[in-house]
Amino acid sequence: MSLFLAPLHLAQDALRAVDKQLENVSLAADAIQRGRSELPPVTSDFNEKERPSLVSKVVGAVRDQVQRGLPVDSPPVETVRALLDGLAANNNIVEGIDDRKLAFEYAFRFLSRLPPSQLAKESEALAIKTLYRDLAHPPGTFVGPEHGFRTWNGSNNSADTPELGRSFTPYSRSCTSGRAIPPRDLPDPSLVFDMLIRRDKFLPHPGGLSGLFFSFDTTVIHSVFRTRRSNWNINETSSYVDLGILYGNTKHNCERMRIIDGQGKIIPDSFAETRISVLPPAAAAILVMFNRNHNWICEKLLSINERETWKDPSKFTEKDKTKGQLKHPDYSNVLEKQDYEIFQTARLINSFAYATVVLSDFLSAVLGTQLDGSTWTLDITSERREPDRVLLERGKGNSCSIEFNTLYRFHAAMSEDDEKYITGSFNYIFGNTNLDELSPELFELSVGNFGRKVAAQAAGRTPPPDVTIPEYRQKTPAERGELNNDSSPTDYRLSSRVGLVKRDPITGRFPDKDLAEILLRATSVPAAAFKARGVPSVMRVIEILGIEQARSWGACTINEFRRFLGLRPYATFEEWNSDSVIADAARKLYRDPENLELYVGLAAEEPKPADNAAGLCPSFTTARAILADAIALVRGDRHFTFDLTPYNLTSWGITEANRNTDNAAWGGMLGRIFQRGLPDYYPAESIYMHFPLVTPTGQKYSMDNTMQKLGKYEDYTWTMPTKTGDIKIISKPEDISSILSDPSNGFSTVYRPYIDQIGLGKSFLADIDDHIKFDKITQLIQHVFVPREEHSATFLWFHDRTCELMRGKHLEITSGIKKAFAVDLVKDVLRLVPVHWASSQVAGLPLKTSFSPHGIYYEQQMYQMFSEIHTYIFCDSDPSMKIPHRKEAKANVERLSRFVKLALAEAMGGLPASVLDSVAHMIIGSGYNAKNPILKRIADLKAPTDAITADIIAVISMASIELSQILTHVINFYLAPETPALLDPDYDDKLVGQQEKAKLQATIVAVASQVTAESQMLLAGYAREALRLDPVIDGVWRQSKTAKNDPGLQYNKGDKLWLDYRAAGLNPEAFQDPTKVDPQRPQPEKEKYGQLPKQLQGDTVFKVLGEDFVYGVTASVLRAVFSFPSIRRAAGYPGILRRYKDVFIAPPDNLLGAFVKDPKVILGDDGEPVSGDPFPERPAQSEFEPLVREIPEEHMYIYGWKSTRVEDWEVVTTGDEEKRKPINTAWRFQYPDPENAHRLTQWATGLTVNYDP
């Protein structure tokens, strides 16, 4: 670099050297010039800076530049690199400018050294413009909960125009019409329907889309369009995909959906939008799934409590802060604020999940990208810059327009099932009226009469008499609007009919079976094709109303709309629709293509053919317009752009609601929500779960043909799922012992299919369902892998390796003059010790460590491979990831098998089997495995190589993963917290307090310092107690092959039983004083409990390697860790084992007759009550929007499930009291993985400890 700088420095030195001479020349030239000039008429002050002579000016300019420096004096190569990097970033070739190349510094040095000139001015202007455009002007969002949370009515979404897109505001207009067509010259709407729109025959959708696709599309359309019946210009819902149809479009309606008990939940299986209840049932069922998803999110948010600002509502007492006005000591301002925050955060996450479905499942089906297995979708929400550095606009708000209200009339795609349902609903509402003679006036009147009956029945009032046609015609427009006002509040729980499915009288929820049948049936049937003459006859009055609405708005023609979209207008009717019959009919009605009105033009336009870019196959104009609208809906929403942050949604929430392109649905989201709401009906491998918007079979572009083309057909199951049995929790120790020791093998595990799927079907795990045979096999495994005579040496190896990793992985920290060491005990020690043992001491795998630097796989890589194998077989993972996890686990088995066979060949004195093996043999080195006693014993069995290879992989994967977790639980249990606030919230505050924890740790340290056989046994006893109180294996699943109906234990054939080890370990009858830590605890009564303590250890490592081995290893590692001086948890969050309670079996939320009596409410133009509000508000007393309400006795929500706490609320009991007994719950821990976007995993991810030198 100095070679490039030298010429520049020499040039500058030379100029400076002659600077004095130039100064002299300049002064001389000025003197000569002044001497020859004439005397001025007026004496003026002498200006020394004025240079009268040309020579002086030139010399002065040169001297000024020398003093400033050369404009470009940086090294040429570095300058070019910086310039090229800036150009690449500006053209989006690379992401962002590499500021370490100093492009900005070079640019501003250049600017500072330019002489005054036009170039300098233009360069400076360019710099200012570039820097100004780096920021948004004005800002896109503001801080604070009032901006981070959605408002009830959609207002304040746009920081620039807060009212833009608010509910109860006028529709906007996108395209101005200039075509002068008097309404009287347009054809009669009923004639238009009969000639161009009425369905002549049903044609299945050519893209293979299912009926459920258009049910979901119905929810999207009703989310953003709700035309006021009395004033068609007003949109009563917001213009954002905010799930207003679920939560409500006003504050009043939103509050009616909420429970307000500190958990943020909403009334189960309900939704705010009354219109959905009369539509085909799949749309309502979808909303019920998002209702359940909201309440599931609330449970997760409260459990994770990321900012540690919330607490269990049951812990709110009279001693909490100022009480609110719900007249109960548990309901304080603090609780209401917590409920508000959880509700709003859950709504943000749930709404984003809904938008993710739109951008993944829905858009994939629209574009047909699922036909080639693509995970691609439009990245609509992210920040983007134009080539001139201008930020591409986002988060500026949205307003739904009349053109798109007209466009989103997808009635032509209605499936045959939905057509039958709508016909039945109309016959029920309109009685014996001939639907072909149903006028818009009679429709509005009948719907109004029906709505008032439903509202009265929900409120327990006598239905009012029907209004007749003459009475209706005598009313003013405002009175007619009030009669037809379907936005008036009703009891959403009762009005949500969901296809006339009856709610459970005990829980108040819809039965899972009925909801599943609705959704699965809708997936199995094809939607109809978009086409002219494609709308079912039953929709005649709806279509006529649509045409009249568009005309009342002065909507543009289809050609005007096409010009607006940048599309070529139609010159002839045949261009618009090549079907001559349709074109001739339109010509007779409209005469000129320029007269073809938008509603009709879109409804009868020729559809696009099915191919990879047109999965929806709508009309050509619609296909172009809906993509533009999708981008406007999502990109214009501040909460999907600027405020889509981990701060607002939490780190867990933003990951949960986002796409995961690795899943079995290629990034799809909807199936995950269905599976979460209906777990018994959406199994992890079902095509119905992963692609619900496309028909599984029966069509040209159904998923079966797609999967066969892609070679993935065998990855999925194709029959419609059915429930195989009920889930029951078995928590009594004697029942668990009886089931696990059943000599008739009347139960099976759930692991067997997974064992075969990943290539371990030849291993000993194949006999896991025959517990007698399995016990014999595991005895042989213990003799071969961990013979008792080698226990002492193995325990010492674990102790020494733990100490080596503690010292080798630590980080030195200094606080003042005090020095200490910190180490992530879980990630860098306890995960790795079993991996080292399994890899080097057992299987001879090429692990790359400081002890074996020439290995192939890093420690964490090997741990991950073992984890993926073990988790797939033995743990319930995310169902959406089951298929990808199977592929990963199978690939890992194949990968490890190669090296295990190589090690076995070496142990048997054989030669590598392939060139690749030979290369690996040379890299790893040879000779070690020939001395490996475990491999020698395995080889001596003379079993088939494939079988013993599978055995080895099965053993080392389970040993590595479960041993590491066992070590984590035990050591975490005995590490005392620094303060009571850091006690494990799910255990320590219930079992042992801070002082007791400190005593336990001191005891462990004392025992660990004694290297004797007695201390080893005592440490093993402490390990046993820790795992009883905080088990690694929370329980196991068993599938019943028979039925049992004993008084204390009942189950049916096919039932899935959860044997709850966690509950059994705390049973006071089996374990006296169960919360006490007793390392010498006596065994429970054998006659009653059998081998219970041993049976509570799970199906894997304790069974396979033996109780003595596992507890011996645990004791040795416990001794090693607690032998370090002043071992202690790190301060704050890193020193806590980060885990959360996952309640995976729970009773459904109970409603028990919730209703509102006589909700006589008058609403204003904004949809909010103006009088008669049963929920009057009080002034805000805090920074959050108040939720508290004075509830008069005659206007009460009744929640029987909360009646024991809410004493002043009227209690309504329904159903058999015996059936209301509490149902057991089962839970387990989950751990956030910061290296995987904070997704939750079954295995511990981090715990930092400190120790002194």
How far apart CA 723 and CA 513 sit, in angstroms, is 8
Supply the pLDDT for residue 49.
53
> Would you say 683 and 717 are in contact if contact means Cβ atoms under 8 Å apart?
yes
Where the chain has pLDDT below 70, the residues are 1-96, 98-114, 124, 126-127, 129-137, 140, 317-332, 386-389, 455, 457-460, 486-500, 506, 612-614, 743, 745, 910-930, 978-994, 1087, 1090, 1147-1224
How far apart CA 822 and CA 303 sit, in angstroms, is 28
What are the respective helix, strand and coil percentages of the chain, to the nearest 5? Answer: 50, 10, 40
User: Following DSSP, what letter does each residue of 1171-1226 receive, concatenated?
Assistant: E--SS------SSSPP------GGG----GGGTTT-TTS-----S-GGGGSPPP-E
How far apart CA 968 and CA 829 sit, in angstroms, is 10
Q: Which of 264, 314, 261 is nearest to 293 (CA)?
A: 264
Supply the pLDDT for residue 970.
96
Residue 904's identity, in one-letter code, is L
CA distances from 1234 to 652, 1031, 1237, 1240 (A): 10, 23, 6, 9
For 102, the token pair is 């100093």
- The two beta strands, 1162-1163 and 1140-1145, are unpaired
Helices (H) and strands (E) in the chain, counts: 50, 19
How far apart CA 832 and CA 86 sit, in angstroms, is 44
Q: Which of 240, 221, 220 is nearest to 167 (CA)?
A: 240
Query: At 218, is the secondary structure helix, strand, or coil?
Result: helix
User: Following DSSP, what letter does each residue of 123-190 receive, concatenated?
Assistant: HHHHHHHHHHHTS-SS-S---SHHHHSPPTTSTT-SSS-TTTT-TTEEPB-SS-------GGGSPPHH
Query: At 572, is the secondary structure helix, strand, or coil?
Result: coil
Query: Quick one: CA torsion of 1239, 1241, 1243, 1248, rounded to 10 degrees?
Result: 20
Supply the pLDDT for residue 13.
62
Residues 6+ apart with CB under 8 A from 309: 338, 341
By CB atoms closer than 10 A (0-12, 13-18, 19+), residue 65 is middle
How far apart CA 274 and CA 448 sit, in angstroms, is 12
Q: List, in order of start, the domains of the chain with CATH numbers.
A: 2-133 (no CATH), 727-1144 (1.10.630.10)
Cα 49 off chain centre by: 70
Query: Quick one: CA torsion of 578, 579, 581, 583, rounded to 10 degrees?
Result: -30
Strand partners, 1141: 1229
> Would you say 868 and 888 are in contact if contact means Cβ atoms under 8 Å apart?
yes
Dihedral of CA 19/21/23/29: which sign?
negative
How far apart CA 904 and CA 907 sit, in angstroms, is 5
Dihedral of CA 175/178/181/187: which sign?
negative
Which residue reads 């070079």 in tokens?
A: 106
What strands, in cross-sheet order, belong to the sheet with 727-730?
A: 727-730, 1056-1060, 1035-1040, 747-748
> Would you say 1043 and 1052 are in contact if contact means Cβ atoms under 8 Å apart?
yes
Phi/psi for 597 (5° steps) reads -70, 160
- The two beta strands, 818-824 and 811-815, are antiparallel
Helix axes 670-677, 281-304, angle to 10 degrees: 80
How far apart CA 169 and CA 238 sit, in angstroms, is 8
pLDDT digits (tens, 9 = 90+) for 805-848: 999 999 988 877 788 999 999 999 999 999 999 999 999 999 98
Dihedral of CA 963/964/967/972: which sign?
negative
For 818, the token pair is 């005090």
User: Following DSSP, what letter does each residue of 932-956 receive, concatenated?
Assistant: -HHHHHHHHT---HHHHHHHHHHHH
How far apart CA 1017 and CA 721 sit, in angstroms, is 51
> Would you say 548 and 440 are in contact if contact means Cβ atoms under 8 Å apart?
yes
What are the helix (H) ranges across 875-944?
882-907, 915-924, 933-940
pTM to 2 decimal places = 0.86
Query: Quick one: CA torsion of 635, 636, 641, 643, rounded to 10 degrees?
Result: -160
CB atoms within 10 A of CB 673: 24
Q: Which of 1081, 979, 981, 980 is nearest to 1029 (CA)?
A: 1081
CA distances from 476 to 235, 481, 1167 (A): 21, 9, 20
